[in-house]
Chain A
Amino acid sequence: MSKSIDVSDVNIYYGDFLAVQGVNMSIRAGAVTAFIGPSGCGKSTFLRSLNRMHEVIPGARVEGKIVVDGQDLYGPGVDPVAVRRQVGMVFQRPNPFPTMSIYDNVLAGLKLNAGKLKKSEADAVVEKSLRGANLWNEVKDRLNKPGMGLSGGQQQRLCIARAIAVEPQVLLMDEPCSALDPISTSAIEDLIHELKDEFTIVIVTHNMQQAARVSDDTGFFNLKATGEPGHLVEFNPTKKMFANPDDPSTEAYISGRFG
């Protein structure tokens, strides 16, 4: 049961510096939403504000409302730890915990919440999550080997397995393929297609073809000028965005005239 995300009037700061200004959008449940835009336009910053990871940087803060399942993530009394439990995240570079085995990596998040798991339950979760991440067949014989021994693409799918093991409602992906080769990238893209039945997926990508291939909706972020805050230029279904964008700067970016 995935959830929609309603964003209204969000401003994001690093200290006094306004990085992203005035974002409004409605992210559909059970769909893939992609954010594109030139470097430094704040798309990753905005993504990180969707599970309150932005504020782990000292001095960083967020204004505005981000509502998931009727609850404002930045409302009073909201526990960021609980938010991150519901809104999972996959990072730009694969980052399995180096000292843990594949098995323990998958369970890392779950162990925090559940304390002691029964061996059979744990086995079931590991298998289900690894199958969910299309990794089970490749690693089922070496679950107790360290996660760092896998290839880059496998490591990234392990990180996805780790994120979906805690059964979040939303899965955020911050340029998940930028450190991977084309074959691993296509494996991840296939996986994103399968995962959208269960999770609301938001993905930041540098690669416009990837956005066109995997997403249902696309948001285009841009800077008004150098030194100005980033903002959301256009948010539309991906088909429309790539065929007939509303904004001329979107078309310029998509057709490769800048960025």
Chain B
Amino acid sequence: MTAPTAEIEDQPADWASVRGGIGDRIFSGAALAAGLTILAALAGVFIFLLAKGATGFSKPAGVYGPHAESFLGYVFPLLVGTFTASIIALIIAVPLAFGIALVISHYAPKWLSAPVAFVIDLLAAVPSVVYGLWGAFFLAKKLVPMHDWLHATFGGWPILGALFGEPSTAGRTVLTAGIVLAIMILPIITAITREVFSRTPRLHEEAALALGATRWEMIRMTVFPYSRSGMVSAVMLGLGRALGETMAVTMVLSVGFDLSWNIIAQSSPTSIAANVALKYKERSADLLNVLVATGLVLFLLTFLVNFAARWVIGRSERRMAR
């Protein structure tokens, strides 16, 4: 810090000096370039996927076979598979994540909330392929009795019966894949909701308590209304993760091509991401184009979901700032 002052003393003050100016220009130029690189990368993802995948949208019928004849017919079951697994994951993960976020922000005593948060961070640190391994070799088998029980209990019910049809004997079902996905997206939903929960102004919480609210009533009166948009966007970010997650579905699900409501069937349509991972090895140029095209669909889908989630969060931050 003394160097610049020394320089100034050495020579007559030169107000128009450009020495600092050149350094500044190079450095700020590099910083700007890095920022633009990010924009370029994102645009590049779209452009290159389009360049490589454009022909994949309209190949001869044989390329899409044996189960489909057009791109739409090819991608539709995959979309169904993607959404089925993701929605199951959300249904399981969202209530759990909200509960855990409340444990960390409001229920656990101070000394316990950091360890609780650490355990959830550990869940996030486990690589997806290890989840896949665990799901395929361990969880699937363990869930077979639950599949049988679900079918035996709900199989005859009007609406649930359709979901719990003839059960799989191996447990490698879309339900199992959804459960593994749920564990994987739990940390991100928890992280965001716990952040917004703990930002509830203490003043409002105390106002509720001073009116004679119990802890749960206080949370319903102040924490949830205050955090609503944060919770919505956390769910959407979780959905974005679930839609794009590859390995859990690839390794756990036993792939089939029949569209049915049965989420415990022997085999079910796989997801877009898992399909790419399963098929890329057949390095036929035509099929690769089709796979890249499905990847483009997935990219746009997750981009939209994430875009919406960030937009909701941004809007609520502006509203709270006012």
Contact = CB atoms under 8 A, between A and B. Distances in A.
Contacts of B29: none
Nearest to B319: A98
B109 A166 contact: no
Interface string B197-226: 000010111111111111001000110011
Given A97-B222, A99-B225, A51 B210 contact: yes
Interface string A88-99: 110101011111
Interface in A134-153: none
20 contacts: A53-B209, A56-B206, A84-B211, A84-B212, A88-B211, A89-B206, A91-B210, A95-B201, A95-B207, A97-B204, A98-B204, A98-B225, A108-B208, A108-B221, A109-B211, A109-B213, A112-B213, A112-B217, A162-B207, A166-B212
Interface in A70-127: 81-82, 84-85, 88-89, 91, 93, 95-100, 108-109, 112-113
Given A81-B212, A85-B212, A108-B221, A58 B207 contact: no
A211 B109 CA distance: 38
B283 interface: no
Contacts of B281: none
Interface in B166-219: 201, 203-214, 217
Given A84-B211, A97-B204, A108-B208, 5 more contacts: A53-B210, A91-B206, A95-B206, A95-B207, A99-B225
A97 B110 contact: no
B211 A58 contact: no
A113 B212 contact: yes
Nearest to B212: A85
A88 B208 CA distance: 11
Q: What are the 8 closest A-B residue pairs judged by CB atoms, nearest first?
A: A109-B211, A85-B212, A99-B225, A89-B210, A95-B203, A84-B212, A95-B207, A81-B212
Given A91-B203, A95-B201, A97-B204, A84 B210 contact: yes
Contacts of B217: 112
For chain B, the bracket of interface size reads: 20 to 34
Given A97-B225, A112-B217, A91 B212 contact: no
Nearest to B322: A148
Contacts of A91: 203, 206-207, 210
A205 to B, nearest CB: 18
Interface in B206-260: 206-214, 217, 221-222, 225-226, 228
Contacts of A89: 206, 210
Nearest to A162: B211
A133 interface: no
Interface residue SS majority, chain B? helix
A5 interface: no
Interface string B56-68: 0000000000000
Contacts of B226: 98-99
B266 to A, nearest CB: 48
A114 to B, nearest CB: 12
Given A97-B225, A98-B226, A109 B204 contact: no
A59 to B, nearest CB: 8
A220 B229 CA distance: 46
Contacts of B206: 53, 56, 89, 91, 95
Contacts of B205: 56
A204 interface: no
A31 interface: no
A138 B316 CA distance: 29
A51 B214 CA distance: 14
A12 interface: no
**Candidate in B207, B212, B213 with the most chain A CB atoms within 10 angstroms:** B212
A100 B221 CA distance: 9
B207 A97 contact: yes
Contacts of B228: 99
A98 B320 CA distance: 10
A163 interface: yes
A159 interface: yes
Contacts of B213: 81, 109, 112
Contacts of B203: 91, 93, 95
B112 to A, nearest CB: 11
B221 A84 contact: no
Given A58-B109, A91-B203, A97 B209 contact: no
A187 B211 CA distance: 23
Contacts of B211: 84-85, 88, 108-109, 112, 162-163, 166
Contacts of B109: 58
B110 A58 contact: yes
A184 B222 CA distance: 26
A137 B203 CA distance: 27
**Candidate in A58, A81, A89, A162 with the most chain B CB atoms within 10 angstroms:** A81
A159 B206 CA distance: 12
Contacts of B201: 95
Interface in A47-62: 51, 53, 56, 58
A91 B226 CA distance: 19
Contacts of A163: 210-211
B225 A82 contact: no
B204 A95 contact: yes
